[in-house]
Structure 1
Amino acid sequence: MNSADWAGRALTAVTDRVAVTAAEVGDRFPLYADPLDGRWTTTGRGSWTGGFWAGLLWLRARRTGAEADRAAAARCTRRLAPWVAADTATRGLIFWYGTAPALGTPAAAALRAEAARACLDAYDPEAGVVPWGAALGGPRLLARADAVPGLVPLLAGAGPGGPGVAAAHLHRHLDLCLGAGGAGRPGRPRPAWQFDAATGWRPREDPEPGWSRGEAWLLLAVADALLHPEVARHRPERLTRAAGQLLLRTGVLTGRLVPPDRASRPRGPVDTSAAAITAVALLKLSRSRTPLAGACATRAEAVLHRLAGAHLTGPGPDRPAGMLLDGCYDAAKGLAVRHELVWGDFFLALGLAALDGLVDITRV
């Protein structure tokens, strides 16, 4: 079957679900929805996921072409503004995916530029990263896999110094998570590290190696760097090696299409949101000059087809259609382990929109 056929139908279901969600949550931000009735747990300020809700609204507007939908997306994006000054590297997730060039408006672009400058100012040269930050609680000087995606393209547009800081931030994370110098270390990437000025970096136990979403975030960040020449020119061979390491060490091209939340618990909850993030990363890699670009394109389509066919709800009397189920928010805490997650919906919609020719995946 032509991918545009099933992808278009699935994208319609997801964007129709966005309309249902928007009516339910009002001025709040959806976080995760119950798999039985589809009701959302929400947050008032958006947390680190607010940009994905704005991004979903922009994707709906792109799909429908309706001015009312564009206005709703613009209003949501404006509500992200307080996060510009927040001490968190997740501003990359919030402001890149909520204002991406292929989706937003000049006003969204202005907010993106303001956030990019703030993140550039937050760079810590001694640690070599934009710190994880204290806005979400816990230690401030962390390097985490989920601190890199979005921040690479955001920093790339932060003026003359932006691309260099984007590269430094990414490569410090790659050196920590994969092993310095590109040589790598055995086993799965270690997704979280803590910095101390006296002793340097030391690994943290949570999240543990084999966290599927952490591996997906790293792959997405590498793919974004390869698509931004001004970032890729910094240690280009290292980027290519990192892409290969992530593809081969994590089984992205050969393992399960929808991975378990933790590799150490193969019979535990799967995480469809990790699969959706991975699919978008693979689509981006397929547009780059990596040696495995063709295999990445094939695998991305297979992942998206599995998500649309096996995990996306259809019409029914008890819950809405268009819910991407089996997302795992936090298996260790038993929190929302088979739920619809707003970022899972976003990356599924983005991947489907790319297959359907609705958006240029290299600009989101």
Structure 2
Amino acid sequence: MQHSAMLSALLARVEETRAMIGSAWPYHADPETGIWETVPDGDWCGGHWVECLRIAGRLEGRPELIEEARERTEWLRPKLEKDDQFRGHRFYYSAARLYAETGDPQLRALALAAAYALRAMAIPQNGAMPIGHEVQVKSTTLASRRIVAVDNVHPNLRLDFWAARELGDPVFEAGARAMLDVTIRDFLRDDGSTVEFIEYHQTDDRILRHFTLLGIHDDSCWSRGQAWAIAGFLRGWQEFGDTRYRDAARATFGYWRDKVGDVAPPWDFEDPDGPVDTSASAIVVEQLARMAVSWGNAEAREVTGHLPQMLDALATHMRPGGRLVDGCFNRPRNFADRSELIWGTAYLLMALSYLEEGRVPC
């Protein structure tokens, strides 16, 4: 499937989803019927649906979709007060990107409020960004200001990168660097794989345990966590130009490519015969597309050169009507482990929209 055809199909799926869900939020869809399981409040990925609406409104010249995205962003506003790592995704993909689209100062204020609230979560001893006391993921129960996920090198830092440019406040660059550095120090194994969770001591910069909830066992490598790490290190390299982030990105992406090449990975790299997770590939593809259109670094082209093949591989998992299936939400709980996942759709749509427009909104 041509990449332009993939984009058109995804845009059609956004319209179909709108008609299907009403005022609810899409979460995961049955791979055979395409019927969405919804949540009333967006869960951790409400911002991703807002971004789908914004992209569709922009590319199709439909201001009513931009307004719908704006309205849903207001529905997310109460989550600003939640002590939750996913405020980064929630308000970057809604308020910050809609501010870039519309120039509405209220959206800027909301995004900045979320950026400062997130930055204040950092663990004092090492600057790591915890999951939070009120972290919201429907399929998983875990909450703490001392537990850090490998994911956090991605969602927690989206607003840091944006706010650093928006305000010039050095706290955001310093905070992002601290989280990137802790992830390299504590989560990155010698072979380039990553740990999913680490619990730190209450007062010392000391690891109490490492563990998994979404992987096959504590010492395995959960592929979506690896994807967050790859994308996070690549973005850190792009933002700061530091070779240590480049080297971490090369290590994590190298591990991925040694295992599966361009195709969607298994849900856990130690279960190669289990379900794959297309949403993990989509996360990496989004960052590769960002780099391809917004950064002229010659070394980066060694990485972004894999983008066309990874997009082609994802196309093989698209069903008629623009449904990206074979996403694995939570394999240990057998929860939506071969499904269409709203964030997988969103990241693929983002990547294709960057390539279509030759730009990234912010």
Partner of 1:272: 278
Q: Distance between the aligned counterparts of 1:341 and 1:146, measured in 2?
A: 17
Of 262-271 and 246-255, more deviation after overlay is shown by: 246-255
Q: Which runs of 5+ in 2 are unaligned?
A: none
Partner of 2:232: 221
- Measure how far apart 1:142 and its partner are: 1.3
TM-score, length-normalised on structure 1? Answer: 0.87
Q: Distance between the aligned counterparts of 1:35 and 1:247, measured in 2?
A: 28
Residue pair 1:285, 1:296 contacting (<8 A) in 2 also:
no
Q: Distance between the aligned counterparts of 2:258 and 2:58, measured in 1?
A: 30
> Residues 56-107 of structure 1: CA distance to partner in whole angstroms, max 9, x if unpaired?
1111111111121111111112212111111111111211222344864324
Residue pair 2:192, 2:252 contacting (<8 A) in 1 also:
no
Partner of 2:269: 263
- Specify which of 8, 11, 24 is matched with residue 15 of structure 1: 11
- Measure how far apart 1:206 and its partner are: 2.9
Partner of 1:248: 254
> Residues 134-188 of structure 1: CA distance to partner in whole angstroms, max 9, x if unpaired?
213424121112222143230231652111112112221222111xxxxx52362
Partner of 1:181: none
- Measure how far apart 1:111 and its partner are: 1.8
State the superposition RMSD in angstroms.
2.2
- Measure how far apart 1:207 and its partner are: 3.7
Runs of 4+ in 1 over 6 A off after TM superposition: none
Residue pair 2:262, 2:309 contacting (<8 A) in 1 also:
no
- Specify which of 186, 189, 199 is matched with residue 191 of structure 2: 186
SS in structure 2 of the partner of residue 356 of structure 1: helix
TM-score, length-normalised on structure 2? Answer: 0.87
**One-letter identity of the residue aligned with 2:108:** A
**One-letter identity of the residue aligned with 1:325:** V
- Specify which of 149, 167, 175 is matched with residue 165 of structure 1: 175
Q: Distance between the aligned counterparts of 1:61 and 1:249, measured in 2?
A: 37
SS in structure 1 of the partner of residue 27 of structure 2: strand
Residue pair 2:196, 2:212 contacting (<8 A) in 1 also:
no
Could you say if the C-alpha distance between residues 165 and 109 of structure 1 is closer, same or farther in structure 2, counting changes exceeding 3 Å?
A: same
Could you say if the C-alpha distance between residues 289 and 247 of structure 1 is closer, same or farther in structure 2, counting changes exceeding 3 Å?
A: farther
- Is 1:125 aligned to residue 130 of structure 2? no
Partner of 1:175: 185
Equivalence map 1:282-301=2 (5 Å): 282-286=288-292, 287-288=294-295, 292-301=299-308
- Is 1:58 aligned to residue 54 of structure 2? yes
Q: Which runs of 5+ in 1 are unaligned?
A: 179-183, 315-320
- Specify which of 37, 50, 54 is matched with residue 33 of structure 2: 37
- Is 1:75 aligned to residue 71 of structure 2? yes
SS in structure 2 of the partner of residue 203 of structure 1: strand
Residue pair 1:247, 1:253 contacting (<8 A) in 2 also:
no
**One-letter identity of the residue aligned with 1:175:** R
Equivalence map 1:125-144=2 (5 Å): 125-135=124-134, 136=136, 137-140=141-144, 141-144=146-149
Residue pair 1:312, 1:324 contacting (<8 A) in 2 also:
yes
Partner of 1:205: 212
> Residues 200-238 of structure 1: CA distance to partner in whole angstroms, max 9, x if unpaired?
22211334432111111111112222232xxx26xx232
- Measure how far apart 1:285 and its partner are: 4.2
Provide the identity percentage: 28
Partner of 1:110: 109
Residue pair 1:92, 1:147 contacting (<8 A) in 2 also:
no
Partner of 1:305: 312
Equivalence map 1:84-95=2 (5 Å): 84-95=80-91
**One-letter identity of the residue aligned with 2:10:** V
Q: Distance between the aligned counterparts of 2:124 and 2:271, measured in 1?
A: 37
Of 195-204 and 102-111, more deviation after overlay is shown by: 102-111
